[in-house]
């Protein structure tokens, strides 16, 4: 799964990428019980030279009442990574999320073929 954006590649080694993805895998969608990485909600992760991490993500539905909770949890999940000084979370609607973005694990867990 490619979620690391072109702006962040120069500042992230493989271990840091794994740390960020691992932190984001701890953020569970409360309605579905699956983490936001396996749900395919993370579109891009960039880290600049000043330690500002920008995470571009979407939600499963436009009117999701949990948007604020999920974005706060994303910020909290990345807070313990020493290379990240601050995190901005951008919620976007394009491209729209579909079940095709889900990992095999998420599809099996939710009974989707």
Tell the CATH superfamily of the 15-104 domain.
Fe-S cluster assembly (FSCA) (3.30.300.130)
Q: Say what the pTM is.
A: 0.86
Whole-number pLDDT of residue 9? 45
Whole-number pLDDT of residue 64? 84
Per-residue pLDDT of the chain (113 residues; tens, 9 = 90+): 445 444 444 557 888 988 999 999 999 999 999 999 999 999 999 888 899 999 999 999 888 888 899 999 999 999 999 999 999 999 999 999 999 999 999 999 999 98
The Cα 28–Cα 32 span in angstroms is: 8
For the chain, which residues make up each domain, given as ranges?
Answer: 15-104
The Cα 107–Cα 113 span in angstroms is: 7
Could you tell me if 61 and 74 are in contact, meaning their C-beta atoms sit under 8 angstroms apart? no
Whole-number pLDDT of residue 11? 57
């Amino acid at each position: 799964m490619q979620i690391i954006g072109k702006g962040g590649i120069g500042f992230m080694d493989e271990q840091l990428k794994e740390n960020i993805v691992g932190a984001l895998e701890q953020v569970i969608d409360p309605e579905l019980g699956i983490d936001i990485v396996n749900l395919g909600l993370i579109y891009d992760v960039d880290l600049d030279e000043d330690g500002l991490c920008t995470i571009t993500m979407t939600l499963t539905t436009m009117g999701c009442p949990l948007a604020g909770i999920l974005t706060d949890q994303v910020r909290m999940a990345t807070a313990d990574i020493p290379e990240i000084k601050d995190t901005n979370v951008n919620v976007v609607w394009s491209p729209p999320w579909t079940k095709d973005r889900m990992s095999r694990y998420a599809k099996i867990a939710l009974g989707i073929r």
